């Protein structure tokens, strides 16, 4: 058999649990949808999916294993990822605090400065959040090979597994983006919006701390 389909149900169940666990990818999509609406949440999601595609390519080609053998590579990736998450957190905190102090509508501020002023910046925020997290790369290298089964074509098996994982991500992140956009639009009070900014800022900095002090 080119691929082993008998392992797919177990993989799908395990991948679903992992995909439902909130991480940096989830929060960048939520934050984008809260800041600018559903479309921008989807742009961030597209960035995350691009990162997933790159991670898949790195895994299938064996480049991932080679990269992890380079002295200091994972540490550098960890520091870069932590710094980027801290940047996102600080920007969210600044926006939230400024909105609370002014007690005025934040539509102009949110539209002009939150996580970047262009659509492209929301997309690349998703890409960078995914690619600069060393735990994502290590997850791919450690988790997917457990479900090779008796597949004759291991590369094709890994691609099928990655496609399932990506599809689960699409469904979950789309739902998160739609929910965040709906909550943000229905609770349009400047104070509520500012609180959401502050919560997201704290979450990003918390995620950065976890990444920074994790062993890789």
Model confidence pLDDT, tens digit, residues 12-53: 999 999 999 988 999 999 989 988 889 999 999 999 999 999
Alpha carbon distance 74, 80 (integer Å):
10
pLDDT of residue 117: 55
3-class DSSP assignment, residue 177:
helix
CB atoms within 10 A of CB 171: 12
3-class DSSP assignment, residue 114:
coil
Helix 24-36 vs helix 154-186: angle between axes, to the nearest 10 degrees?
40
Alpha carbon distance 109, 118 (integer Å):
13
Q: Is 37 left (phi over 0), alpha (psi -120 to 50) or beta?
A: left
Query: H-type helices in the chain, by residue range?
Result: 8-20, 24-36, 38-61, 63-68, 73-102, 107-113, 119-131, 134-143, 154-186, 190-212
pLDDT of residue 188: 64
**Are the C-beta atoms of 139 and 35 separated by less than 8 Å?**
no
Model confidence pLDDT, tens digit, residues 142-161: 999 999 999 999 999 999 99
pLDDT under 70: residue ranges of the chain: 103-117, 187-188, 216
The contacts of residue 208 (CB under 8 Å, 6+ apart) are: 81, 82, 83, 85, 86, 89
pLDDT of residue 109: 45
Alpha carbon distance 69, 61 (integer Å):
15
Dig out the tokens for 174 from the structure: 């789309």
Helix 24-36 vs helix 190-212: angle between axes, to the nearest 10 degrees?
160
């Amino acid at each position: 058999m080119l691929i082993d389909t008998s392992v797919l149900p177990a993989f799908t169940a395990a991948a679903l649990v992992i995909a439902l666990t909130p991480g940096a990818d989830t929060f960048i999509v939520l934050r984008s949808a809260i800041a600018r609406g559903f479309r921008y949440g989807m742009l961030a999601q597209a960035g995350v999916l691009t990162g997933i595609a790159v991670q898949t390519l790195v895994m299938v080609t064996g480049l991932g294993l080679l990269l992890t053998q380079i002295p200091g590579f994972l540490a550098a990736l960890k520091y870069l990822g932590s710094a980027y998450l801290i940047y996102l957190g600080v920007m969210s905190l600044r926006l939230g605090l400024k909105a609370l102090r002014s007690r005025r509508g934040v539509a102009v501020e949110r539209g002009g400065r939150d996580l970047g002023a262009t659509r492209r910046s929301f997309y690349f925020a998703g890409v960078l959040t995914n690619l600069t997290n060393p735990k994502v790369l290590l997850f791919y290298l450690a988790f997917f090979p457990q479900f090779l089964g008796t597949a004759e074509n291991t590369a094709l098996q890994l691609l099928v597994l990655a496609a399932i994982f990506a599809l689960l991500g699409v469904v979950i992140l789309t739902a998160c983006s739609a929910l965040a956009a709906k909550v943000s639009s229905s609770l349009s009070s400047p104070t509520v919006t500012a609180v959401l900014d502050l919560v997201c800022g704290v979450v990003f900095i918390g995620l950065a701390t976890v990444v920074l002090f994790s062993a890789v």
